[in-house]
Each structure stands twice: as C-alpha cells, then as structure tokens.
Structure 1
Amino acid sequence: MKKWKIGVVVAAVVLAFGLGPAATHAVAADVIKWGVLIDLSGPTSDWGKNQVKGQLDATRWLNEHGGINGKKLKLLVIDDGYKVPRGVAGYNRLVDSENVVGLYIQSTGTTMTLRKKIVSDGVVTIAASFTSKFQNPAKTPFSFFVSPSYATMGRIALRWIKDTWDDSSRNPKICFLYPDNKYGRDILKVCKDYAKKIGVDVGPDQVINWPTKDATVQLMNMKRYNPDWAYITSTAMNGAVILKNARSLGIKTKFISNIRNFEETLITLSGGASEGTYGVHPIAPYGAPVPGMKKVVQSHESWHPGEMGTNVYVEGWVNILCASQALRLADKAGDLTPVGIRKAFEQFKDFKTGGLAPPLTFTSTDHRASMAAKIYTIKDNRMIAVSDWIELPKTMEYFGK
C-alpha cells in the first residue's frame, strides 16, 4: 500500500503545478497519457482508493507486457474529493495542460456537469458513473463505461426479485435508499416505472446522505411500510452504517445493494451486518475462478501483500484493459486522437476480459456495453452468486434515460 500511496501523491503533485497551453492531444512518441479524476479523500474515497489501485496495477502490468504497441501508458491521477468544482478544475488541468488523450471520471455530479463540455472538447471518457444518460452517442459520443447502467442493474435486481417471489397473494414490496445527489437519484424514474410494469410495489423513498453517520430515522420510517426488500444506492463505508443500524433495530427487510455498495469492503466495515444481504454486480469478485483473474491476483499479492483484494480493484483492471485495447486499435490505425479512440471503442464486439466482466460491445449508435449482471449474496464473509447471468434485452424504452 505504501508504494501505491506514494505513486498517487506524486502524480497529483505533478498535476498541481502550472497550467500549460491549450490541448492539442499530442503525445510523446513513446508515452500515451491517460487521466484519472477520482475521489481519494472525500465521502467515496474507500471506493476510489481501491479503484485507482486497480488501474495503477493494471497499467504497471500492461507496461511490463509490451504496453500499447510498444508505447508506455502513463496514468495522471487527480484527487477531486468528490467535489464538483475540484472535479471540473481537475478535468481542465488534465485536458488543457496535460493534453491527455482521454480520461476516467468517477463522480456522477462532475461527469453530468461536464457532459456538454466533454462533447465540445471531443475528449474520450470512461465513466465510473454508470448513468444511462451517457449511453446514447447521439448525445454523448465520447462517453463510455464498462458495465450495464445503474438503472439496468436496478432493473435486473427487480426482475430477479419478481422472478423468485413465491407469494401469489400479493406483489413483493421494495423501498429505495439513496443519498440526495445525482448518483443517488439516477435510477429512480426508470426503476420505479419498471417495477410498476412487472408487479413490484414501491414504498416511500428513504434519503440517507453522505457521510452516513446514522440511518436510524430513515430505517424506522421504512419499517412502517414493511417492505420485503430495500435497494441501497451508496458506497461501502456509508452503506455499512445502514446495515449495522438495520441489525440493531431488528429489521427483517432483505437488503440488496447496487454495484457501488456491494463490494468486499462492505463485509469488513459492517461487522457482520452484511451477512445474508444481496447485491447486483457485473464484475467478478476478487479471486473468482475465471481465466482473467490469474494476473490480477498475482499482481495484487506481489505488490500489496497482506492487503484485501476487492471487486472494485478488479473493476480498475477492467477499465484499463478496455482503455488499452481501444488505444491499441487507434494507435495501430495511426489515429491516436479522441475521434480515433472513439472509433476504436466502437469496434468492440463481445470484447472479453477473461471473465472479469461480461462481454462488452459498443457501436456508433449504441454505447450500452452490456445488459448483464449476476445476483450475489454474502455468506460466511464471501460473495456467492445466487443467479447465473441475468441479461435484459437492448430495447429502446429506457435507452439514454
């Protein structure tokens, strides 16, 4: 961990000094610069630190195995603290001063704020914000991400809840728990509409803001409705508080977490309160028996001995594997520009990461990488799949919404 922390700090310090001329997106002959705008000190820093560790390790592994057609990939990391003004400033620094060919952005608020600027600047972005609003290339041609959208995964969870419901006398009931920000609210309209269509009754929302210190009031409000399920949109260090409070209150509702809450850190932070809860996720848990996991585990054990691996770390690898493939294709075509990189992503057809994620496909008219995820439960402090891949059709009903 010490080496990783130093690497991030050095990158952040380098980016903190001086603003250069306007971007030309040019790169040195042997180096390709890619930006990373992420929370390492704010309310989602638990997630951000594991994500950037995965990206840095994947980049190190990549460079040790030939890089991008012989070129080195260089990550430039900025900590935005999950604050939109810092995120916007960091974006400007990466694009206008560092001239990155593309970048990764974590924050939903920052990405939504920059949505029009990203289009006008013509900068390829991989988002950690899995909002479906970034999946229609007619509106956001340079935006990509390596997963189903938050709303698609919410619909997958609802579909599974309905399909496994065995009480013919009534519909299953659910409440949504989320922070009052763009990330937290993202799925509500689509998922509530879908729930109504398939016969899942939706109770009163419970807003649980960050940093979450106590959720007792919201959980008692939810208990009055007595839902069968509660869907948590959060991150592990905040969601763990919800689960611990629910255990203390003796709440019988089953909890199912979204991708950002359901990760291995939740197990340790919740002090056993996550046992028996569920999550919807497209990324393989750390150490899963899939072909692509071998290099991930070997790298983590070699470079971070004694530390816990997480599916967030694995997702960091997936982000770099996808970015590097697009950069490789663009470089081979002699078009290592934002337009060239976008076209390279749009060549992905069932792109495989060795089982770390479902096969990923992008086209010039549809940036929905995948519509598939699995449902997991936590049993004996391990993530266990309780479903196979659940894949929704790529219909136009919720496209870009």
Structure 2
Amino acid sequence: MKRLSIWLVAISLVLFFAAPSMAAKTIKIGGLFDITGGTGSVGTPYAEGVRDCVRSINDNGGINGVQIELLDVDYAYKIPQALAAYKKFKTQKVVAIQGWGTGDTEAMSPLIKKDKIPYFSASYSEHLTDPKVTPYNFMVGTTYADQARVALKFIKDTWTDKSRNPRVAFIYNDTGFGRSPFFTVKFQGYNFDGAEAYAKEIGVDLVAKPIIGLRALDATPQLLNMKKADPDFAICQETSVMATILKDAKKLKLRTKFFALNWAMSGKIMELAGEAAEGCYWTNPFCLWTDTAPGVEEAKAASEKYHPGKVQIVNYFQGFTAMKVMAEAIGNVKGEVTGPAIKAALENMTDFDTGGLTVPISFSAKSHKGSMGLNIYQVQSGKFVPVKKVLLSR
C-alpha cells in the first residue's frame, strides 16, 4: 500500500509539472510582413488579415484544439532583414511561414526548400509555383503572369478596330515584383515566360515599358514619354502609386485606358485617385467588402470584432484567406504537425471552398498555384463594377 501511495504521488508530480508545458504547446507560424517599407500601404492591411484570422481561429478553439502562435516581423521590404527574420523563425521552430514579397521569397527559396518549411507567399510570381523548383512554396492568389494574360486577352477580345492590333504599355516598378508579370524570369535554371510572350502570340503590340517607382510622387515624365507611343491600354504592376499614375494621366489628358493588376487597385487607391480612377479596369482574385458570401462574412465578422467600425480593403481579405487556407491544411494533418506533413496536406487539397473569399483552392504535387480564377472589375461612378469572371485551366 505504501509503495502504491508513493507511486501515485510520483505520477501526480509528473503530471503537475508536465501540465504547464502541455498547455503551452502551440502551432508556431512565422509572419514576414511589410508594415513600414515600400509596399507597407498594402502590406499593413494584409498583415492585419493574417493576424485576425489567427485570432479568430484561436478564439474558436484553435486547430484541433491547439492554439496558433503567430511570430511576426516587420521587415520593411528589405531582403537582408527578411533573411535575418527567417533565421530567427527557424530557431523558434515554426512549422510554416506567411511571407510577403517577390525578392525576399526568391532569396529565401533555397533555404525554404532545404529546411522543408511550407511558405505562403503574398508574391504571386509564377516562378514560385513550380514544385520542381520551389517544392515548399505555395500561393493562394492567381499569379501575376496569369492576371496580365487575362488582361491582354480581354483587351484583344473586346478590340473592334480591325485595321490594326491593340497597342499596350506595361507600367511597372524595377523590382522582382514589378517585372514578374511581364517578362521572362530566369530562376534556378528554369525560364518562366511572362505576358510579353503572350502578347506577341495573340496579336497585341507592346509599345512602351515605363518604369515608375513604388514611392514616386510624380509620374508625369514617364507618362509623357509613354504618350509618344500612344498605347490604347496600360497594364500596371504597382501598389498605391497607382493613384498618382491615374491622377497624372488625367492631368495630361491621356486617352490610354488603364488596367490594374491586383495590388495596383483597392477601395483606398480608388479613393485617392478620385475621378481619375473612373474607367480603370482591375484584375482581382479576391472578394470585396461589399460581397456577402459565407467566407466573406466570416472575415468581416473578425474585422468587426477586433476593429469595430472599420471597413477593410481587399488586401485584408488576401491575408485572411492565406491564413485560412494554411490552417485548413494544418487541420488535415494526421499525427505530428511538421513541414513535410503540411506540404502533403496542401498537395492533397482539391477545390477547398473558401466561402467566396476566392475561387476554390487546389494544390497538387505538380502545381502550387492555388487560385485559377479572378474577376475583372471596372471603376464606374466611384464603384467597382464586375465586368467578367474568368476561370483558367491548369
């Protein structure tokens, strides 16, 4: 009896001291965000969407009863700081990372591959979606190159002047992000064609390539130079500087119509551009605040809970969706949650219904392009009006 009592006391002590560590167990996710750098105007709401999704999941019991611990860093859109943050994430033993830009994702991709840490990029660069090259990189948004090809096809299909091809300009910033939609990218021994090759294929003439920085305060010199080529359309890979481009184009009375890829337009950018935004087209793979589908309402409820009265722009939904999809994959892991296990769960994800945040999301061992669809909107009377829904084939 005495031995039994000693044994019970010993077991009680083990359980007592083990309980805190068991309770403290979390699923650690890294968060690499740009809050104060060159893309901070869109990075801040994106980060807020990721954080709110985590908070909402945790408030509702976590993933299979385990809380998510989001370890996030503002790297100010600087590659050296991104690499330093990644090294810290590794020492903190994160099992996956919510990332951000094109340049830093490219720089980290060999490390991500080596360390087998699934990485969700907010860069939708096509060369980051091929598992042969970047086996642990995934993205939820429709790739930049696919968006640009959709814009070009729309321009070609709606062109009515049979005497000549439509003329387009590509407006971009001179970064990996800026160049990604348009030009052939050579990455880790592979070539990935951009929209420039597609324009030639379908008979759209590329006549100008203005470079406008992400923080430019005046786009007049570049637009005046573009005016000489007289493009019918300008497809733009920018962020908030798009408002400056549109306003300067209106001052110069350009006849060119503008086509914003996903980061180059939002409710905030439309507001900043004012009347100059009228008529601008936009390729957007995500929902808007005015949408009412179940997943959208879920994200809006989270925003209302944590930021009462705030109306979120599209970038918030991008971050929320990325975290929601990652959490779904983690929840489907059988056994220990590790990088390879999450990767396997993602590659078995087929037509995951985000509830209207995006088209259904699928990954496979052959493709890490999550989204194969988007909506084309046009600004009409200060509102985003849907023009066409586009579903792409893999």
Structure 2 length normalisation: TM-score?
0.89
Gaps of at least 5 residues in structure 2 are 1-21, 184-193
Cα deviation, 1:50-85, whole Å, max 9, x if unaligned, reads 001111111111112221001111211100100111
For residues 283 and 292 of structure 1, the distance between their equivalents in structure 2, rounded to whole angstroms, comes to 11
For residues 228 and 295 of structure 2, the distance between their equivalents in structure 1, rounded to whole angstroms, comes to 46
1:206 pairs, out of 203, 210, 229, with: 210
Matching of residue 360 in structure 1 with residue 361 in structure 2: yes
Q: In the TM superposition, what is the alpha-carbon distance from 1:283 to its structure 2 partner? A: 0.3
Which of the pair has more CA radius of gyration? 2
Runs of 4+ aligned structure 1 residues displaced above 4 Å come to: none
Report 1:46-195 matches (<5 A).
46-96=41-91, 98-189=92-183, 190-195=194-199
What amino acid is the match of 2:201? K
For residues 386 and 277 of structure 1, the distance between their equivalents in structure 2, rounded to whole angstroms, comes to 12
For residues 214 and 295 of structure 2, the distance between their equivalents in structure 1, rounded to whole angstroms, comes to 34
Matching of residue 346 in structure 1 with residue 350 in structure 2: no
Change (3 A) 1:99 1:57: same
What amino acid is the match of 1:109? G
Q: In the TM superposition, what is the alpha-carbon distance from 1:28 to its structure 2 partner? A: 7.5
What amino acid is the match of 2:110? K
For residues 359 and 283 of structure 2, the distance between their equivalents in structure 1, rounded to whole angstroms, comes to 13
Cα deviation, 1:192-251, whole Å, max 9, x if unaligned, reads 110111111111200111311111010001111111100111112x11111111111111
- SS in structure 1 opposite 2:332? helix
Q: In the TM superposition, what is the alpha-carbon distance from 1:392 to its structure 2 partner? A: 2.8
Report 1:179-258 matches (<5 A).
179-189=173-183, 190-236=194-240, 238-258=241-261
For residues 299 and 187 of structure 1, the distance between their equivalents in structure 2, rounded to whole angstroms, comes to 32
Structure 1 equivalent of residue 386 of structure 2: 385
What amino acid is the match of 2:155? I
Q: In the TM superposition, what is the alpha-carbon distance from 1:316 to its structure 2 partner? A: 1.3
For residues 75 and 287 of structure 1, the distance between their equivalents in structure 2, rounded to whole angstroms, comes to 29
Change (3 A) 1:326 1:29: farther
Q: In the TM superposition, what is the alpha-carbon distance from 1:110 to its structure 2 partner? A: 0.5
For residues 367 and 378 of structure 1, the distance between their equivalents in structure 2, rounded to whole angstroms, comes to 31
For residues 204 and 124 of structure 1, the distance between their equivalents in structure 2, rounded to whole angstroms, comes to 38
C-alpha contact (below 8 Å) 1:335/1:341 kept by paired residues: no
Deviates more, 1:215-224 or 1:27-36: 27-36
For residues 188 and 328 of structure 1, the distance between their equivalents in structure 2, rounded to whole angstroms, comes to 37
C-alpha contact (below 8 Å) 2:288/2:313 kept by paired residues: yes
For residues 158 and 375 of structure 2, the distance between their equivalents in structure 1, rounded to whole angstroms, comes to 14
Q: In the TM superposition, what is the alpha-carbon distance from 1:29 to its structure 2 partner? A: 6.2
Structure 1 length normalisation: TM-score?
0.88
Deviates more, 1:294-303 or 1:256-265: 294-303
Cα deviation, 1:163-215, whole Å, max 9, x if unaligned, reads 11122221111100001011111122220110111111111200111311111
- SS in structure 1 opposite 2:154? helix
Cα deviation, 1:281-335, whole Å, max 9, x if unaligned, reads 11011231322111222222332233331111111111111010011112xx103
For residues 293 and 167 of structure 2, the distance between their equivalents in structure 1, rounded to whole angstroms, comes to 35
For residues 309 and 223 of structure 2, the distance between their equivalents in structure 1, rounded to whole angstroms, comes to 36
State the identity %.
35
What amino acid is the match of 1:120? K
Q: In the TM superposition, what is the alpha-carbon distance from 1:102 to its structure 2 partner? A: 0.8
Structure 1 equivalent of residue 30 of structure 2: 35
What amino acid is the match of 2:36? S
What amino acid is the match of 1:36? G
- SS in structure 2 opposite 1:46? helix
For residues 228 and 216 of structure 1, the distance between their equivalents in structure 2, rounded to whole angstroms, comes to 18
- SS in structure 2 opposite 1:114? helix
Q: In the TM superposition, what is the alpha-carbon distance from 1:351 to its structure 2 partner? A: 0.7
C-alpha contact (below 8 Å) 2:122/2:139 kept by paired residues: yes
Report 1:300-339 matches (<5 A).
300-330=303-333, 333-339=334-340
- SS in structure 2 opposite 1:76? strand
